[in-house]
Amino acid sequence: MCEAAILAPQYFLSMLIDHLQYASKYYNASTNLAKALQWLEKNQHQLATMENGEYEIDGKDVYAIVNSYNTKPESECGWEAHKVYCDIHYSVTGSERIAYAPLHAMTEGQAYNTEKDYSLYTGTGDFVWVRESMFCLLLPQDVHAPGAYANAQSEFLKKVVIKLKY
């Protein structure tokens, strides 16, 4: 299980969203979470110009994936969940809405892919707006669909997804 959920269940019952400026509030919840948030804080001013790709933070226990894309309509965003990793989605430039729903409320549409650590789901959920300089922590019980328009139209989004070993 994600360290945050094992070590400090009082902190994380489900998805968490906050601004990076408050990241230090969560350091005591998990060593891996602290490493991830400290990496974001340390690199926040370079992230906009960082090349897309994978960046090691602590081997395969904690690593970052820098990505950029145009946001899309809700209907084009796929639902997924992971078993091995928790996700931190951080918006570097631009905004997106990320849908989330509890695992028990969703229907599995594609069985778990062990190599890529995901299952695909169908169902409905709620959306959170992840604005520039905000992060969203998603635990394995949080089925999520990132990449939706934050406003009425598509916008360019540069983001980081940090994977925390489950």
For the chain, 166 residues long, give each residue's pLDDT as a single digit of tens: 444 443 444 444 578 999 999 999 999 989 999 999 999 999 999 999 999 999 999 999 999 999 999 999 999 999 999 999 999 999 999 999 999 999 999 999 999 999 999 999 999 999 999 999 999 999 999 999 999 999 889 999 999 999 999 7
Three-state secondary structure call for residue 150:
coil
Three-state secondary structure call for residue 139:
coil
Both ends of the chain: CA-CA distance in Å? 4
Q: Which CATH architecture has domain 3-165?
A: Sandwich (2.60)
Q: What is the pLDDT of residue 166?
A: 74
pTM: 0.91
Residue spans of the domains in the chain: they are 3-165
Q: What is the pLDDT of residue 15?
A: 86
Tokens 């919840």 locate to 29
Q: What is the pLDDT of residue 4?
A: 41
